[in-house]
Amino acid sequence: MKYKIFHISLLLGILVCINSVLHAQSKQGFVQQEKVNIAGVTADTSLAKLNVFQKQTSRVYYDGLGRTIQSIVVKASPLQNDLIQPVAYDNLGRQTKSYLPYAGKATDTTGFYRPNAVSTDQPGFYNNLTQYLTANDGNPYSQQVFENSPLQRQLSSGMVGSGFQPVSGQHYKTAVYRYNSSAQDGSIPVWNYDGSFTASNYYPNNSLSVTDGKDEDNTETLVFTNKEGQTVLKRQKLGAANLDTYYIYNMAGMISYVVPPQAVSLMAGSYSLSTTAVKNLVFHYLYDSMGRLVEKKVPSAGTVAIVYDPVNRPVLVQDSNMRVANKWNYIKYDAKGRVVSQGIYTDVTRTGRTAMQSYVSGLASSYNTTWYESRTATLTNSGYYTSTIFPTSSTGTLTPLAYAYYDDYDVDNNGTANFSYAAQGLTNESSPTQSTLRGVPTVICQSTVGSAIASNIWLTKVTFYDKRGNPIQVQSNNQLSYTAMFTLTDKKTTVPDFTGAPQITKTSVQAPSGTTSVQTNFTYDHMYRVTAIDQYYNGSATVSHVATYSYNELGQVYQKKLAPVSASSYLQSVDLRYNIRGQLLSINNSKLSNDSGQTNGDTNDLFGMQLLYEKVDANLGNTGYYNGKLSAIKWMSRDGSNNSSYERAFKYYYDGLNRDTAAVYAERTTAGTGAFSITHGWDEDRITYDLNGNIKTLYRNATTQGTGGHSTIDNLTYTYDANSPNQLKTVSDASGNTTGFMGGSGTYTYDGNGNLTNEPYKGLSAISYNVLNRTDQISFSSSANRFIKYAYSASGILIRKQQYDNVGGVATLQTTTDYIDGFVFTTAGAGTAALQYFNMPEGRVLNNAGTLSQEFTIADQQGNVRIAFDNTGTGGTAKTRQENSYYAFGMIMPGSTVATPGNPNKNLYNGGSEWQNDYGNLPDYYQTFYRNYDAALGRWIGVDPKGESAESMTGYQYAGNNPAMMNDPMGDLFEATDGIAKQLSGHEIENMNLWLNSGGMQGGLLDNVPTVGGVSTAGGGKNGVSVYIDADGNVSYMEGSKNSYIVKQNENNEWIFNKVSSNVVQDFSGLAKNFLSNEFGYIPVNLGFEAYNFLGSRIEKGIAAGLRNDNPTNLLAPNDFQLEQQNLVFDRMSRAVSYFNRNGEVFEAGLEKTFATTAKTLGFASTLVGTALSVYNRNGVITLGDAVKGVIGYASTVGPIGWIYTGLDIGTAYLTGKSITDRIGSAVDEAFPEAKMKLY
């Protein structure tokens, strides 16, 4: 077993605690890591001479028990002071208080242990009333209270800050542990393995463990667990009502049924799953005799069937729509098990999963000799692969949609590379490695899908790597300049530094009208925080400044200067402030005033907003919330004439499940003075829900600022299908107003996958879908010749949209819109495509008759674009071009004082999702990658592709019915913009564990201590895959996670995204995110621009960061076949037999065996396996925190102290979802994220 270790001053220091004498300070054991940022440093003498830009130094101090007592990142703050994370334990070794990190003083001796960190230094840092850039609070820590018993269970948990501590009179989480009682809990049914129920068979009293948790606002959730550790019931309290979700397991302990609250209500105590309505509300999973998932039924979405080949690989997948046409999504593999081809297989002979599986299983004998496809010199079905394994054209019809080639560029296998690197003449530009590539995707070919491109074409991407495994250039073609599959016209080039951090990127896109190129330069501080971004267009030597970024001592962005010319000259300054929990408090301020830097330092701002959580504004009369919910927002903007609006506000109200019930509007004429006396003008309220979260009623007003009156524009009542209760059937509008919801009559219809197929209220006569489950055509009832066609790459990325209309009784093409890696072109009729705009950080660049001009955006805390502006104001000052305000569920509030410009920004709500308003504001959907959202109704028009993530709710709900705090820019998984709000996603108690509060800044304060993505010897492949370079310079990839077959993303791409967007997420519009997609291939939340991704599967937020695994076997759009959905099922399976951690990681016996062998080699006990596997399984490396956990794991096996510690460790893990050891290891990893030892 070989190891690669980053530059660490004590090579074995990550595995042992070493005592060092540091001058006059007391002895403290520590581990020091040196992260080298430049090439050529190979000796300690050279290392010692490096400055803070050339290396990053960090230390972890330990006590005599090997516990972390302090972590320090040397000179890591923007002012080059140390960042210190103190850790303290009580007399039983518990972390009852978890402290926020803080920045040291300029007079401190760098790197030294701070003996007064907890007593004076850290409290003093957070009680400095002379500055406003970091939060001030008297309680810069969180607390946990444990019961006084050997179980040491956590009874209460407070968040960071005053008013949130677990003491009388404050607000905190509590947990009560007991057993079930029929008197208290009612009768809880014992389900049979097949999902049936035997009358009167209920759990006896005291046979289920109950964890009863309440959050800071008294929201209550109970989890009932049987003796096997399986969750059998989750109960959410809504007043006196219970919302129950049942979990039913088969004999093998695998989840078979999930029964959500609406289904429980419909059963009315019969507990029968046989009625049609109940069947259409229940999740159902079917397994074969080998324990493989073969069918999955999601409410409203029909059944997905999976067929496996004789060597246990999924080869066919079929959804409900495909079943009607006897079509399957096929998957083919090479000899190494890598996906090499995907497409559509049609077989009218073997229909249904059972018949097909029987046939494929019968091919076992042929798989003894050939079980894979091989490269060939013959072009077959548009690919240079054999077609020998099932399925083949001899048994049905194959329509290939994607091919992947690995390790070389000789696609046609003739001995000569088909592609070569194209040098761009950039400063410090790398050359591609001449060494052997191993396991690396090099060429990806994808067919187009959709009626907007009548004859499908093949889009190709070729990726070149440098000697460190960094992708440095992607060459591709596009639909506008297409001539042949292997004729490439476009290039995206990245110049990384020694660490892998991009210094320069250059993108060029060719269209019939010419080539457009964009060069982007990045400037960093000593900790690789982005401090400036500049661009050059079309080879010009004239720089176009985009933005500069300033950080407080904790690494949070406190100011962005947009279009800066000098330190004092810029179009707009955006000032940001945060509370002690890391929640955004203000963007400038809602008065647009200069308050000497308390929130803002300018008087010329075009937009400002303040956000209230637990704080109450007496003039507004909002209700404070303590569980992270947004209580109110206040905002103000300026129009194109620089006139300011009224100071405006929304007060938010919620039910007991944290669902939005009202957003009540108010405004005041004098900003900052007096009551918000003009009320209800743009209310969106009287919102009610059924038990599954389907909206039942909704009410809206509209008005004009300052008038005092208002009109009701929507008074909606929703009716749902009796047989499919999640599917909307009709809507009635008692307002009689066509603004907002358009009104009228009609009945909604759906296809087998749960997609809406008509919209009678908007006059959409038909909505059809393609084999990728993406919208193919929308037709209008006003004319049979009016419709919109769409086309996608095989990965599901929108690349073209065509609008047709009735001209002289003939359907005539009006406009074609092409999307090419963030560049947007339009073509009038049969004319020539013209560039409209492309994306940049903080906005977009418009093409005005051949002249490129920047347009900047300012967004709110969720990335919803509020203001677009340029430099056309008097004297080149900022001028507002577009202003948008939104109701809570995202509909644009009518009555803006800013006229819509001729080339409006449509990337607006939901993190910049594109508003579809092609015909008189119709179809009026926000388009995301997976599905379309209807803001007027507050619902998606398709089922959530990851519906299991919110199993107690309808698959059509938007943002967990909490749109003020959550959004869903991908259309697949609603998430919050800060860590506290993530607790509101439906589960305050999960797997019997109280939500963990580890004491760090909620939302990840230490995440702002930069992590440099690349390394000197290995470019970090994410999603469980790592890049390695052997002694001969050969580049190879290694899987490190169960569901990671193919590397999804090189770490430098995620790194630059984190540096720009994590720190400025509050202001990021979809345009900026699209830009990041184009430049670095990382799309956390995007809406239809293709990411740089080796196999074309959509890279989503979290995946590249290693938080969850993407579909490992998918070249096509993820909605077709998502093993990540299966993972949720397997997660439940794992719950039945073992502890299931919060990140959804499932261990592999092979990895356990590998690490156990490693541990044995290093001389550790076998307990090391349990303490270090979780992080290794997540990202394919052993981190410094793992090593520390290994030390603790070893210590926990030695003597009485070790046994006591082990007992506490298990108890803490049981109650909080994270053991004490894990917490210690996590703290180390957060402070020293690059201390990794990679196995290969």
Q: What is the pLDDT of residues 576-615, one digit of tens each?
A: 999 999 999 999 999 999 999 999 999 999 999 999 999 9
Q: Are residues 10 and 139 in the same domain?
A: yes
Mean pLDDT of 384-407: 97
Q: Which of 265-274, 408-417, 717-726, 1168-1177 has the lowest mean pLDDT?
A: 1168-1177
More confident residue, 1180 or 454: 454
Q: For residue 197, is it within any domain?
A: yes
Q: Are residues 115 and 244 in the same domain?
A: no
Of the residues 231, 247, 279, the one at which a domain ends? 279
Between the alpha carbon of residue 1180 and those of residues 12, 1052, 1139, 1154, the distances in Å are 20, 16, 21, 12
pLDDT at 1086 over 70: no
Mean pLDDT of 434-458: 96
pLDDT on residue 816: 99
SS3 state at 176: strand
> Is 595 in contact with 118 (CB distance < 8 Å)?
no
Q: Are residues 199 and 270 in the same domain?
A: yes
- In whole angstroms, give the CA distance from residue 488 to residue 1095: 17
pLDDT at 157 over 70: yes
Q: Residue-wise over 207-234: b if at least 16 C-beta within 10 A, else e?
A: ebbbbbbbbbbebbbbbbbbeebbbbbb
- In whole angstroms, give the CA distance from residue 961 to residue 1232: 38
pLDDT at 1031 over 90: no
pLDDT on residue 553: 98
pLDDT on residue 1063: 31
pLDDT on residue 977: 65
CA angle, residues 925, 1083, 867, in degrees to nearest 5: 55
937 closest CA partner among 716, 1188, 769: 716
Residues 6+ apart with CB under 8 A from 187: 202
Measured in residues, the chain has a length of 1240
Q: Which tokens belong to 902?
A: 């001729």
Of the residues 279, 294, 327, the one at which a domain ends? 279
pLDDT on residue 1188: 40
Q: Which residue in the block uniquely carries the two structure tokens 């895959």? A: 1025
Q: For residue 96, is it within any domain?
A: yes
More confident residue, 1074 or 279: 279
Q: For residue 47, is it within any domain?
A: yes
Tell me the pLDDT tens digit for each residue of 36-60: 999 999 999 999 999 999 999 999 9
- In whole angstroms, give the CA distance from residue 913 to residue 954: 22
Q: For residue 470, is it within any domain?
A: no
Q: Are residues 146 and 16 in the same domain?
A: yes
The pLDDT confidence band at residue 567, using thresholds 50, 70 and 90, is confident
pLDDT at 1118 over 70: no
Residue 643: how many CB atoms within 10 A of its CB? 11
Q: For residue 340, is it within any domain?
A: no
- In whole angstroms, give the CA distance from residue 436 to residue 425: 25
Q: Are residues 63 and 146 in the same domain?
A: yes
264 closest CA partner among 248, 252, 278, 247: 278
Q: How many domains does the chain have?
A: 2
Of the residues 262, 279, 296, the one at which a domain ends? 279
Q: For residue 508, is it within any domain?
A: no
Tell me the pLDDT tens digit for each residue of 999-1023: 222 222 222 222 222 222 222 222 2
- In whole angstroms, give the CA distance from residue 1058 to residue 944: 27
Q: Are residues 220 and 76 in the same domain?
A: no
pLDDT on residue 1203: 34
pLDDT on residue 383: 97
Q: Are residues 84 and 124 in the same domain?
A: yes
Q: Are residues 100 and 141 in the same domain?
A: yes
pLDDT on residue 1008: 26
Q: Are residues 222 and 201 in the same domain?
A: yes
Q: For residue 399, is it within any domain?
A: no
Q: Which of 503-507, 582-586, 658-662, 1149-1153 has the lowest mean pLDDT?
A: 1149-1153
pTM of the model: 0.83
pLDDT at 940 over 70: yes
Q: Are residues 47 and 97 in the same domain?
A: yes
More confident residue, 1062 or 276: 276
Q: Are residues 104 and 236 in the same domain?
A: no
Residue percentage of the chain with pLDDT more than 90: 75
Q: Which residue in the block uniquely carries the two structure tokens 């910049």? A: 912
Q: Which of 50-59, 617-626, 1114-1123, 1140-1149 has the lowest mean pLDDT?
A: 1140-1149
Residue percentage of the chain with pLDDT more than 70: 77
- In whole angstroms, give the CA distance from residue 1008 to residue 985: 24
pLDDT on residue 548: 97
Q: For residue 65, is it within any domain?
A: yes
Q: Which residue in the block uniquely carries the two structure tokens 């661009």? A: 535
Tell me the pLDDT tens digit for each residue of 766-808: 999 999 999 999 999 999 999 999 999 999 999 999 999 999 9
Q: Are residues 129 and 223 in the same domain?
A: no
Q: Which tokens belong to 649?
A: 């506000």
| Helix/strand/coil percentages in the chain, nearest 5 | 15, 35, 50
Domain range holding 1204? 3-160+998-1009+1147-1239
